[in-house]
Amino acid sequence: MTTTAKFSGNIRVAFVQATWHADIVNQARDGFLAEMTRQGVARESISVIELPGAFEIPLHAKKLAQSGKFDAIVAAGLVVDGGIYRHDFVATAVIQGLMSVQLETGVPVFSAVLTPHHFHAGAEHQQFFSDHFVHKGAEAAQACLRTVTSLRQLNALTQ
């Protein structure tokens, strides 16, 4: 997905990220911030919030959306096999939570929360997912800007 023109207008975005596997998840943040800058969005317009894990993201996204201070919320995390909870349970809970937030508040929420099967800490997986998260962060920025623009147009039509 590629946008053809730079974003025009003001925007406030919250980028909420899990710090579990921060070395990889930070790549999504960096890709997101780089694309937002490339699209003409000032860095000061983006608040970055770090959380322990992905499971905590929906509650924070809801509080941020309810504040009325943000045009969009972007979530990033890496949910892998192992730990106390099965990764598919956590991933489903996070995605359902994020969808509920946007439907309840009217603030769009974007997910760069990925759930690879059979992830391992080997160099090959680390490099693949680091690169992949940069791309997913940029895609989230593009989707964010296009959706905020679309919602503003829709609001103008329905007011």
* pLDDT value of residue 7: 78
CB 144 within 8 A of CB 74: yes
According to the model, what pLDDT value does residue 83 have? 53
Give yes or no for residue 81 having a pLDDT over 80: no
Contact at 8 Å (CB) between 116 and 14? Answer: no
CB 25 within 8 A of CB 77: yes
Do 14 and 152 touch, CB atoms closer than 8 A?
no
The pLDDT of 128-149, averaged and rounded, is 92
Q: CA distances (Å), 125 to each of 60, 77, 83, 128, 130, in order?
A: 29, 16, 19, 5, 8
Model confidence at 3: pLDDT above 60: no
Kindly report the average pLDDT of the chain as a whole number. 89
Q: Which residues belong to the active site?
A: 86
Residues 13/67, Cβ–Cβ less than 8 Å: no
The set of residues, in sequence order, having a beta carbon less than 8 Å from that of 156 and lying 6+ positions away, is none
Phi and psi at 49, nearest 5°, equal: -120, 125
